[in-house]
Structure 1
Amino acid sequence: MRIKEISITDLFGVFNHIIPLNLEDRITIIYGKNGVGKTTLLKLINGIFNSELDYIVNIDFEEFIIKFEDDIYANIDRKLKKTYLYSLVDKYQFEYDLDDIIKVRLIEHDRLLNLAASNLSEKYNRQSLLHSVANYAQELAQNIQEKLTEYGTLSQSLDRTFPARAVQQNRLPELTDAIFKDKLNKLEKKRYELIDYGLLNRDENTDIQISGDIDESTKKILSIYIEDAEKKLSLFDDMARKIDVLKRIINNKFYYKQINISKEKGFTFTTDDGKSLSPTNLSSGEQHELVLLYELLFKVEPNSLILIDEPELSLHVEWQVQFLKDLQEITQLSNIDVLIATHSPDIIHDRWDLTVELKGPAE
C-alpha cells in the first residue's frame, strides 16, 4: 500500500501543511524557508512508521493524517502514542502499527555518521566515518558470495540431471538455426557482463561456437543447455541491475577513478593510472555519495518510502544537478517512493513539477 498524501495541522502551533505525493514519478520534494518544519516532518513520518512515538510526543501539533491508496487513512494520536486507521469505504476504525503496512527509512544529511554508529552499535567517533564504507564493501562481497553459492547449487542440480533430460527429450524445439545462434550469443554476452560486474569468474570458458546448419539431435541438446543456462544466469539479474547502476553513476561522477566490484572485496577503486585505492581513502563527499547509493540500491525493501533530508549538504553542485536523474532510475529499479527535503534549487533543477512548497500562515 502506498502513501498518497501527508498532512499536519498546527505544527509548532503555527503551520498547516498538505503534501500530496507524486505517485507516478515516485519522487516528491518539499522546500521552504528555515523553520517551517521540513526536517521535523521527515522525522515525524519516520517516528510514526518505526514506532519511535516518544519523539512524536515532544513535537507540538494538533493533527497528523496519512492518506493511503484504497481510501485508507491514518490519524496519529500523539498524546496516547497510538495510531488509528480508518477505511472510507467500510467506515471502520482500528488501532494498527503502521510499520506492518509500509516500511519507511530515513536518511539524514549526516547519514555517514549515523550509519556508521548504528552499524557498529557503538557511540560515534572519528573512525566511524570510515567504517560504514568499509562495512558496505564487506557486505556486498558477502552478498555476491552467497549468490555464487546459490548459483553453484543450482548448476550442480541441473548438470546432474542433464543427461537424463537429454535422453528423454522427444519433442524437437520449434526454433530456427538463427534463433538458436542468437540465444547462444545473448547468453555469452550476459556472461561477459556478469564477469564485468564481478559476479562470475573470468576463467569460466563456456563459449559455444556453432557454424553451419544445426541437425535435429544437436538442437535437442542445445535447447536443454540454453534453458539451463538461462535459469542459472537469471539468479544474478537483480544484483546485476543494481551493480550496473552503481557503477555507471559512480564512474560518471568520481574524477580520476573507477569503481571495481569483486566477490573478495565488494567494491574497490582504481585510479586512472592503474593504482589501487581503498574506498576509505575517498573524499568525504565521495563517501557520502557511495553510502547513499548503496543504501538506496541494496538496503531498502521494495515498496518502501525513503525520506532523504538535505542531500545537497554532501554533494558538489554538478552532482546536485544530476541527483534527481540518478534517483529516478533507482526508484524504478528498487520500486520505492522518495520524499526529499531540500533548500537547494540545484537539487530541484528543472523538476519543479515534483515540488511542494511549505509556507507560513501568512503566505
Structure 2
Amino acid sequence: MADNDRAITKIEAQGVLGEFSYVVEYPTTSGPDRMRLIYAPNGRGKTNFLRAVSAALTPTPESLASLVEIPFASLRLDFANGGRIVINRDSNTVGPFTASASAGINGEEFSVTVDPAELGGRMYRRVWENRADFYNYSQAVGELSPGAIFIGDDRLVPVLSDENVDGVRNEGNPYTTSRRRRGSVSTLLEAVERMLTQEALAALSNESEQTGIYAQITRTTLEGSDAILASEARAALEEQIGALLDLGKPLERYGLLSMRQVRVISDQISVARANARNLPAVHTILRPYLDSLHDQITALSPAQELIDTFVTSVNHFLDRKELQFTASRGIRLVGRDGNNLHPESLSSGERHLLLLLSQAVLATGERRLVIVDEPELSLGIEWQRDLLPEMLQCSAPGNVQFLVASHSLQVMNAIELDSIVRPGEPK
C-alpha cells in the first residue's frame, strides 16, 4: 500500500463522556497541513478521545481492553484509500463494543465483538491471538496503519519492558514500538541516533550497489586520454572539484562523508603547470571518481537533511548547551564548557522538548499518526509558540500527521485557525 493511502482523512467520535462529539478532518493531499489541534475546556473528553483514537489504531488485546473503559458511543477513522475502522456500542458509553475494519474501498470488512468478560485472566492475550475474527480484524487494521504514537502527560515516566501480561515478548508485533511513548529521553535519543545512522548507511549501500567506480576507471584509462587541451582539462577538473567541495560541506559537518582527499587533489592541480601535458590523462582517470562522489553526495543528501533538521530544531530551543551529531560518535549533548551532558540531567522543559522532537523525527520512518496530549507541559511561552512548527519541520520527510490537544493560546497561535477543532456539545 502506498504511503499516501495510509493517510487519515477523517476521525469522528460521538458520545465522548456520553455528551460530546469530535470531527477531525485532514486534507487528502500530503503537505504542511498535517496538524490538527483540539481546544476545549476541561471536562470535555479530549484525553479520552485521543486515547480512543490511539487504541483503535493499535489492534492488540491490551488496546481492546483499554477501549472497554474509554467512554464513547462510536468512533470512525477514514483513510485516503477508502478504508475505515469503525467502533460502535449498542448502549452505554463503556463496556462491550463491536469493531470492524476494511483495508480499502473494495476491501472485505472484518469485525470482532469485544465483551469485557472475555478480557479477564492472565492468559486472555493468548486466547485472543488464536481467535480467527480478531486475527482478520487486526490484519485489516495493520494494512491501513502502522499504529499511532501516543504522547500523554505521563511522557517522562519510563516504561517497563516490551513484555505482555503473560511475560512473553512481542518482538514480532509491529505495535509494541508504540510503548516507546513513555521511554526515557535517553532511550529516545538512542533510537533517533540509530535511525539517522541507518538512513545514512542505507543511502551509501544503495549508491555503492549502483556504482562500479573501479570498472569505470579501468575502462576510461584503457580508452586513453580525452581529446582536450591541458588547459581545458584543468578548468573542467577545477569546476567539478569546486562544486563537489561546496556540496560536500553539509555532509562533512555530520561526518557522513570526508572531502579530505578531494582537497588534496585540488591542491595538487592548483600547483601544476597550466599546460602540464598529463592533465588530460588525470582528467580521464579522476572523472569516474568525481562522478561517483557526486552520486554519493546525492544519495546521502536526504539523510543529511533529516539530521540537519533535527539538530537545528533542537538547538533552536536549547540555551547554553547544544545537541551534536556525527556518524562516528552519534548524538551528544554538550554544555558550554564542552563537557558531555546526560539527557536525564536536563530540566523538565528540556526533556519534554527533546522527547517531542525525537518522536516527531522517529515517526518519519514509521509514517504514523502522532497524538500529543498537552504539548505545552513544562515549556516556557516562547517554546510553546515554536514547538508545533518545529515538530512539523522534523517530520516533513514522512508526511506525518498530528492530532494534538492543548489549553495553551501560545500553542494554538502557531497554527492556522482552520486547523483548530472544538468539540460538539449537546444542545
Same fold (TM over 0.5): yes
**How do 1:297-308 residues align onto structure 2 when only pairs under 5 Å count?**
297-308=361-372
Aligned partner of 2:178 in structure 1 is none
Aligned partner of 1:5 in structure 2 is 10
Take 1:300 and 1:153, find their aligned partners in 2: how far apart are those partners?
20
Q: What one-letter code is carried by the residue in structure 2 that aligns with 1:278?
A: H
Take 1:119 and 1:238, find their aligned partners in 2: how far apart are those partners?
33
Task: Please say which structure displays the higher CA radius of gyration.
Answer: 2
**How do 1:153-192 residues align onto structure 2 when only pairs under 5 Å count?**
158=212, 160-167=214-221, 181-192=238-249
C-alpha change, 1:147 and 1:8, in structure 2 (3 Å) is closer
Residue 60 of structure 1: which of 27, 50, 71 is its match?
71
Take 1:284 and 1:20, find their aligned partners in 2: how far apart are those partners?
33
Residue 102 of structure 1: which of 137, 140, 145 is its match?
145
Cα deviation for residue 294 of structure 1 reads: 1.7
Take 1:62 and 1:136, find their aligned partners in 2: how far apart are those partners?
35
C-alpha change, 1:342 and 1:229, in structure 2 (3 Å) is same
Aligned partner of 1:133 in structure 2 is 185
Aligned partner of 1:35 in structure 2 is 43
Percent identity reads 23
Q: What one-letter code is carried by the residue in structure 2 that aligns with 1:355?
A: I
Take 2:15 and 2:279, find their aligned partners in 1: how far apart are those partners?
78
Cα deviation for residue 7 of structure 1 reads: 0.8
Aligned partner of 1:249 in structure 2 is 313
Q: Is the 8 A contact 1:144 1:199 kept in 2?
A: no
Cα deviation for residue 249 of structure 1 reads: 1.6
**How do 1:153-302 residues align onto structure 2 when only pairs under 5 Å count?**
158=212, 160-167=214-221, 181-200=238-257, 204-207=260-263, 208-209=265-266, 210=269, 217-302=281-366
Cα deviation for residue 286 of structure 1 reads: 0.9
Take 1:5 and 1:325, find their aligned partners in 2: how far apart are those partners?
22
Identify which of structures 1 and 2 has the higher relative contact order when contacts are C-alpha pairs closer than 8 Å and 6+ apart: 1
Take 2:284 and 2:324, find their aligned partners in 1: how far apart are those partners?
39
Which SS does the other structure have where 2:159 is aligned? helix
Q: Is the 8 A contact 1:5 1:20 kept in 2?
A: yes
Please give the root-mean-square deviation of Cα atoms over the aligned residues, in Å: 3.8
Q: Is 1:358 aligned to 2:423, yes or no?
A: yes
Take 2:358 and 2:395, find their aligned partners in 1: how far apart are those partners?
13
Q: Is the 8 A contact 1:65 1:74 kept in 2?
A: yes
Q: Is the 8 A contact 1:72 1:87 kept in 2?
A: yes
Q: What one-letter code is carried by the residue in structure 2 that aligns with 1:108?
A: G
Aligned partner of 1:83 in structure 2 is 100
Q: Is the 8 A contact 2:384 2:411 kept in 1?
A: yes
**TM-score calculated relative to the size of structure 2:** 0.70
Cα deviation for residue 169 of structure 1 reads: 6.3
Q: Is the 8 A contact 1:138 1:265 kept in 2?
A: no
Take 2:240 and 2:316, find their aligned partners in 1: how far apart are those partners?
31
Aligned partner of 2:375 in structure 1 is 311
